[in-house]
Chains A and B, each alone.
Chain A
Amino acid sequence: MYEIVAKEILNKDVDLMVINAPLVARNAKPGHFIILRVDEEGERIPLTITEINGDLVSIIYQKLGYTTRLLGTYNVGDSLSDFVGPLGKAAHIRDVENVLGIAGGVGAAPLLPQLKEYARRGVKVTLVIGARSKYHLILLDKYKEFCDEILIATDDGSLGTKGFVTDVLTELYKTRTFDHTIAIGPLIMMKFVVILNKKHGLKTDVSLNPVMIDGTGMCGNCRVSIGDKTFFACVDGPDFPGEEVNFDELLARQNYYHDEEHICNLRLVKK
């Protein structure tokens, strides 16, 4: 069992949890993820590691699906049934002078360790962060510790520009350019960021979070079409060059079990 040693509520939809998992922490690097199972009947879900501190591993999750909502009912002192990692390829930290990070919603969590690593190496870091409202923005304080510049977009305009991250980017690109960009957020956001960036001749790394089971390259559930090749996000990713990703196919794969998710959520309400 894997004990929850700290829990922080970041907003009404998003929690941060710190888990005691020495064997995950031992070799973890920015970009790695874990797979957890809340209880004996649980499904296996992947979550990016946000921070490592000794034997402790931090994760951030949005209480959207059945498992993340169930996880949200767990508290400090409770234990998770399974917690395995580190999985995936560590983020490829490029040799650049300035980098632009683009975060949407809970995507701010997996982006954090990557941008922090760039900052640690002396790279100039700009962040464009978007969410539904100012209450849904997460980790702003942590980003403020190392980002050179932060631009905010909210759907309702409660903080920063009213609109999407793409609106902020369109404005930004009028005067600025970057050596490299990383976009992490909902698939639909990443899709449109990549389209916009392509127009401006910018490369975009994206981090994909498809449905996974084993996470070790065995089941093939998480496969994605990159160019004309198939990759397994669990072992070949989760980061891929955004220009090559077939987002529409991935959106279909992501939604394939939509109805079943709903059935599970109903069950959670009964619990």
Chain B
Amino acid sequence: MKLEKIHMRVQDEKERSCNFEEVALGYTLEEAKLEASRCLDCKNPRCVAACPVQVNIPAFIKHLLADDINSAYYQIYDDNILPSICGRVCPQEKQCEGACIVGIKGEPVMIGALERYLGDYALKNDIVMEQHIVENGIKVAIVGSGPAGLACAAGVRKMGYDVDIFEALHEYGGVLKYGIPDFRLPKDIVETEINRLRDIGVRFHKNVIIGKSITIDQLRDDGYEAIFIGSGAGLPSALRVAGENFSGVYYANEFLTRVNLMKSHHFPQSATPVKVGDNVAVVGGGNVAMDAARTAKRLGAKNVFILYRRDKTSLPARLDEVYHAEEEGIDFRLLRNPVEFIGENYILKQVRCEVMELGEPDASGRRRPMPTNTFETFDLDSCIISIGQSPNPLLKDTTEGLEVNKWGGIIVNDHQTSIPGVFAGGDVVSGAATVILAMGAGKDASVEIDKYIKSK
């Protein structure tokens, strides 16, 4: 068995830092099969246990090796309705690939790349898994069309429920549309994978804000037997430092929404502008921070740097994203904590940072950044704050009896909220996490919804 993985081809780094085309180009069938042949087909596959939706990885790999591509795809689709998306955005090194036995002595099998190959193959060749749905006519409402909502909708629809998805924005997909940039997740892929749900009879309604346009109580009056809330973690966390409201200071949500959803990189064809200037700082070390930095670069910024208060090994972003960001010339200014924005006439000019050093490990197991009382100032045209998101309080504020914890996450018990018949899952429960965890929660909630309705 080969210890080295088959590397996925990528777009040239110089070229790609000026365009929004996808960076990673995917495997060919030959490459996929070569990579798949490295799988040991373990008796107790640790990769499956490490997958939040327990995709039967050895089984799909066997189909792939046997040249039965359709069956390989069906095998994944059974557990994961968005393989092309998850193959691109899952933190595989912390899940399936992190658990892969081959990874102990060599490089783990590139399970994400294989999943992506199969998902893309199915989209390109219009392979659709036949599903026989026995209608039961019972209405279920889904709030939010992001990963959690989509997975829950697919789950309950397959059981025969009549499903309506309500989306607040003008496009479907939630964070897949407004959050993750094209160069990492092309929007046509999101669109096509979502359309598969439309094909099985899920109804989509855009521009409907549950809690405002229709309240949860009104949904019940409208005949929905169960409601699933998957409204995500949309509230940006603030640094809470002086000057944060200067023009030129963005929260990543605004910056990325301008580009990804409103297509401001096509301005003025698209009417929503965005400006970054030459010198851009991005505060934070997660995937959103990497997305923001790489987007700023593509918009023409000359110097883009990450300000992160810990060291490189603590960066929470996917390894691939950090690697790609470095290749594209993003500068990592580590152990720097912004303490103040300096502006003129309320326009951002500089950021003042405290230099940090690492102390004892904190609750997260990472070494705690400690202040040193040494400061540095950087000139800036814009700054993008990407230090996390918490659940949007809109539903809590408009729904009597909906209990949340102190971080704003909806409290659930077996995916059911404090209101009987109202379920929740994904980031609105957990706080900002991953696409696949949200999908797992949505899928599990669909089972609980079925149990609840049947027990009534």
Residues of A within 8 A of B (CB): 23-24, 26-27, 37, 41-44, 66-67, 81-87, 213-214, 216-221, 223-225, 230, 235, 246, 248-249, 251-253, 256-257, 260-261, 263-264, 267
Contact = CB atoms under 8 A, between A and B. Distances in A.
A38 to B, nearest CB: 8
A41 B271 contact: yes
B214 A67 contact: no
Contacts of B392: 216-218
A216, A220, A263 interface centre (most CB from chain B within 10 Å): A220
B347 interface: yes
Given A253-B346, A264-B273, 8 more contacts: A82-B206, A82-B207, A87-B212, A214-B169, A219-B257, A235-B393, A253-B247, A264-B268
Nearest to A224: B245
Contacts of B178: 214, 218
Instruction: Say whether chain A's binding surface is mostly helix, strand, loop, or mixed.
Output: mixed
A267 B267 CA distance: 11
Given A84-B207, A214-B168, A225-B245, A26 B269 contact: no
A219 B269 CA distance: 22
A85 B169 CA distance: 11
A140 to B, nearest CB: 32
A257 B264 CA distance: 12
Interface string B249-270: 0110110011001110001111
Interface residues of B, number: 46
A257 B273 contact: yes
Nearest to A222: B254
Interface stretch (B54-62, B83-91, B231-239): B231-239
Contact of A84 (B209, B253, B269): B209
Nearest to B398: A27
Contacts, number: 126
Top 5 nearest A-B pairs (CB, nearest first) are: A252-B346, A260-B273, A219-B254, A218-B234, A84-B207
Contacts of B247: 252-253, 256
B214 A23 contact: yes
B215 interface: yes
B152 to A, nearest CB: 20
Nearest to A220: B251
Instruction: Say whether chain B's binding surface is mostly helix, strand, loop, or mixed.
Output: loop
Given A85-B212, A230-B245, A216 B168 contact: yes
11 contacts: A23-B214, A27-B218, A44-B262, A66-B271, A67-B271, A84-B209, A213-B258, A217-B234, A219-B257, A220-B251, A230-B244
B374 interface: no
A148 B406 CA distance: 48
Contact of B209 (A41, A216, A251, A261): A216
A66 B267 CA distance: 13
B312 interface: no
B345 interface: yes
A264 B213 CA distance: 31
Contacts of A251: 346
Given A214-B257, A216-B168, A235-B394, A249 B275 contact: no
B203 interface: no
A219 B168 CA distance: 13
A260 B168 CA distance: 27
A251 B253 CA distance: 22
Interface string B312-342: 0000000000000000000000000000000
A251 B247 CA distance: 10
A247 B210 CA distance: 32
Interface string B392-435: 11100100000000000000000000000000000000000000
B170 interface: yes
B94 to A, nearest CB: 26
Contacts of A86: 212-213
A219 B251 contact: yes
B394 A24 contact: no
A82 B208 CA distance: 10
B208 to A, nearest CB: 6
A217 B271 contact: no
Contacts of B393: 217, 235
Contact of A85 (B206, B213, B234, B394): B213
Contacts of A252: 246-247, 345-347
Contacts of B347: 252, 256
Interface string B295-316: 0000000000000000000000
B170 A82 contact: yes
A249 B346 contact: yes
B195 interface: no
B272 interface: yes
Contacts of A249: 245-246, 346
A264 B273 CA distance: 9
Nearest to B234: A218
A224 B268 CA distance: 27
